[in-house]
């Protein structure tokens, strides 16, 4: 189901998981988070529990993403992204299904980030460390030895808001609590791994806390929003608002 707000200008199509939790400014599922027109399309039945997993989505879910992507392209999308970094596992498959640029995950930007920070490791903060397995890392071209991965699946405020069934995703998100959980995870990574040079936020729900994380750690922090506004992806495709 696409967002009923239409625009005649080229826009960024956003493949959104089937969720009902709050999408604050900065979240990948909030069209106002982007510096150009953006339109949401919910992929029915593809919720957090179905997609945040070790491995690719089911064939039925992959087909649903492809059909929704084609619908957005037909409506005038100039490029496509998504709200969930775990969709890196179908990045190539979905890109072959449409004729416009596709960048489904912040993990797509790993190679570029690594070039900027070649002498140390990159810390990846993800919705679920246990779910971010070999399939996703291979799809992103990530060598396990070059990264440190930490997940938020055991963090109460984050997990209660994001990693529940859709029917339980009610009420406002405790953003201050999630921010503190994220900062605590990052600081713990820095204590254990002194060679960390930057953080990469896999999860599309984490960019609202990106600046606070940078201020708390002193390290560069990258997210999906950085990836989709990078000139190599967006230049010549999307006009500013």
Confidence of residue 8 (pLDDT cuts 50, 70, 90): low
* Average pLDDT value for the chain: 94
Residue 143 within a domain: yes
Confidence of residue 241 (pLDDT cuts 50, 70, 90): very low
Range with the poorest average pLDDT among 72-76, 189-193, 235-239 = 235-239
Do 76 and 166 lie in one domain? The reply is: no
Do 156 and 201 lie in one domain? The reply is: yes
Do 196 and 177 lie in one domain? The reply is: yes
136, 56 contact by CB (below 8 A) = no
Give the global pTM.
0.93
73, 99 contact by CB (below 8 A) = yes
Do 99 and 126 lie in one domain? The reply is: no
Residue 43 within a domain: yes
Do 114 and 98 lie in one domain? The reply is: no
Round to whole Å and give the CA distance between 151 and 39.
29
Do 26 and 112 lie in one domain? The reply is: no
Do 151 and 85 lie in one domain? The reply is: no
Tokens 């939790």 belong to 21
| Total tally of structural domains belonging to the chain | 2
Do 139 and 215 lie in one domain? The reply is: yes
Give the C-alpha distances (Å, rounded to integers) separating 69 from 1, 120, 186. 11, 36, 34
Supply the CATH number for residue 116's domain.
3.40.50.1860
- Which two tokens mark 157? 């405020």
80, 43 contact by CB (below 8 A) = no
Round to whole Å and give the CA distance between 239 and 181.
36
pLDDT computed for residue 234 by the predictor: 76
DSSP labels, the chain: -B-S---SS-EEEEEE-S--S---TTSTT-GGGSSS-EEEEE-TT--HHHHSSSSPPPHHHHHHHHHHHHHHHHHTEEEEEES-GGGGGGHHHHHHHSSS-B---GGGGHHHHHHHSTTSEEEEEES-TTTS-HHHHHHHT--GGGEEEEE-TT-HHHHHHHSS-GGG--S---HHHHHHHHHHHHHHHHHH-TTEEEEEE-STT-GGGHHHHHHHH-S-EE-HHHHHTSHHHHTTT----
For 95, the domain range is 11-105+227-234
Do 116 and 178 lie in one domain? The reply is: yes
190, 220 contact by CB (below 8 A) = no
Could you tell me which of 149, 139, 138 has the C-alpha nearest to residue 202? Answer: 149
Residue 3 within a domain: no
Range with the poorest average pLDDT among 33-37, 182-186, 209-213, 237-241 = 237-241
29, 14 contact by CB (below 8 A) = yes
Confidence of residue 26 (pLDDT cuts 50, 70, 90): very high
221 C-beta neighbours (distance < 10 Å), count: 24
At 98-147, the pLDDT tens digits run 999 999 999 999 999 999 999 999 999 999 999 999 999 999 999 999 99
Q: How far apart are the first and last CA of the chain?
A: 23
Do 58 and 131 lie in one domain? The reply is: no
At 53-76, the pLDDT tens digits run 999 999 999 999 999 999 999 999
């Amino acid at each position: 189901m696409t967002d009923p707000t239409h625009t005649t200008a080229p826009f960024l199509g956003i493949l959104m998981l089937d969720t009902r939790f709050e999408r604050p400014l900065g979240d990948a599922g909030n069209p106002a988070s982007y510096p150009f027109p953006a339109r949401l399309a919910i992929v029915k039945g593809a919720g957090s529990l179905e997609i945040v997993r070790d491995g690719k989505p089911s064939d039925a879910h992959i087909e649903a993403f492809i059909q929704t992507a084609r619908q957005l392209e037909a409506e005038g999308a100039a490029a496509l992204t998504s709200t969930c970094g775990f969709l890196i596992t179908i990045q190539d498959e979905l890109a072959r299904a449409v004729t416009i640029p596709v960048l489904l995950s912040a993990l797509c930007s790993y190679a570029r980030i690594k070039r900027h920070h070649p002498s140390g490791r990159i810390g990846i903060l993800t919705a679920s460390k246990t779910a971010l397995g070999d399939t996703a890392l291979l799809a992103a071209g990530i060598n396990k030895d070059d990264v440190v991965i930490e997940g938020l699946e055991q963090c109460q405020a984050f997990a209660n808001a994001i990693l529940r069934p859709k029917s339980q995703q009610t009420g406002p998100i405790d953003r201050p609590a999630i921010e503190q959980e994220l900062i605590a995870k990052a600081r713990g990574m820095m204590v254990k791994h002194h060679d960390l040079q930057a953080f990469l936020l896999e999860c599309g729900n984490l960019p609202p806390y990106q600046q606070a994380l940078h201020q708390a750690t002193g390290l560069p922090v990258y997210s999906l929003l950085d990836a989709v506004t990078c000139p190599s992806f967006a230049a010549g495709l999307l006009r500013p608002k």
